[in-house]
């Protein structure tokens, strides 16, 4: 039995690591899975961000890239989408998949993480990040970075799964920081953003959106 438990623990650790940083052959499958399972939350985040044609927006930690497609559709030919991804493999996958949009300048894929965004100050009208803050140790710094890159009247949307429901998933026991929505909202407020909390009912894991509006 201890050997079985050890194998299960290692397997769940592998799953958690891939969700935080998809890579290699397994990462390709994870990317497809992320597009399917995250789509509802990403669509809701794009809607909450109020993305409009001609704007400059970002999906931070875009994973399989479903958010990039949704944002590109929203901003149209006159807008710009920044895809920021910590996984070099996911960034390479996006560059291969979105060659046309990159070629026209509508999409810019850059490598980086939430606590050190490779984006200029006040360069975005909106930024979304969905199911990423589980893997960030310094939440205050991540929220400060999000606040830094949005323009006055811009919006930041952080999407997370309900922590109680997430805690029942076997893969979250290792490598995940399951923070209550109030903790995420407080970090956004410390970064100077006026924050709204929306809960979206969905099975098996409800979605929380923390929407920060710049007070500048």
The stretch 108-133 carries a mean pLDDT of 97
pLDDT over threshold 80, residue 35: no
- Relative to beta strand 107-111, strand 193-200 is unpaired
Helix runs in the chain, H state only: 2-20, 24-49, 66-75, 88-97, 99-104, 139-149, 163-167, 181-190
For residue 164, is it within any domain?
yes
In a domain, 107, yes or no: yes
Whether the pLDDT of residue 27 is over 60: the answer is no
Q: Of 118 and 172, which is predicted with more confidence?
A: 118
Mean pLDDT over residues 148-165, rounded?
96
Q: Let me know if 142 is exposed, middle or buried by CB neighbors in 10 A (0-12, 13-18, 19+).
A: buried
86, 116 in Cβ contact below 8 A? no
Closest CA to 136 of 165, 177, 166: 177
Contact yes or no for 198/150 (Cβ under 8 A): no
Q: How many domains does the chain have?
A: 1
CATH code (residue 85): 3.40.50.150
Mean per-residue pLDDT, 156-170: 95
**If you compute the radius of gyration of the chain from its CA atoms, what whole number of angstroms results?**
17
pTM above 0.75, yes or no: yes
Instruction: Give the structural domain span for 35.
Output: 6-214
SS3 12: helix
Q: Which tokens sit at 160?
A: 């997370």
Task: Evaluate if residue 25 carries a pLDDT over 50.
Answer: no
pLDDT at residue 24 in the model:
53
Q: Which residues have C-beta within 8 Å of that of residue 205, sequence separation ≥ 6?
A: 161, 162, 165, 166, 169
Mean of the per-residue pLDDT values of the chain? 87
Domain assignment present for 1 = no
Flag whether 40 is in a domain. yes
């Amino acid at each position: 039995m201890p050997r079985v438990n050890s194998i299960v623990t290692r397997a769940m650790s592998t799953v958690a690591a891939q969700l935080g940083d998809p890579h290699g052959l397994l990462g390709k499958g994870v990317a497809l899975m992320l597009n399917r399972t995250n789509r509802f939350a990403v669509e809701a985040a794009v809607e909450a961000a109020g993305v409009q044609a001609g704007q400059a927006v970002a999906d931070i930690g875009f994973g399989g890239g479903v958010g990039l497609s949704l944002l590109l559709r929203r901003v149209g030919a006159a807008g710009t989408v920044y895809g920021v991804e910590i996984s070099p493999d996911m960034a390479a996958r996006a560059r291969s998949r979105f060659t046309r949009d990159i070629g026209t300048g509508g999409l810019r894929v850059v490598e980086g993480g939430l606590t050190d965004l490779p984006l200029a100050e006040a360069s975005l009208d909106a930024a979304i990040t969905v199911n990423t803050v589980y893997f960030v140790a310094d939440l205050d710094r991540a929220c400060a970075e999000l606040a830094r890159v949005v323009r006055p009247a811009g919006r930041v949307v952080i999407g997370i799964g309900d922590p109680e429901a997430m805690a029942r998933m076997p893969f979250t026991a290792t490598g995940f920081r399951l923070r209550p929505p109030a903790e995420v909202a407080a970090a956004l407020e410390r970064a100077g953003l006026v924050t709204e909390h929306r809960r979206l009912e969905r099975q098996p894991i409800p979605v929380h959106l923390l929407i920060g509006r710049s007070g500048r």
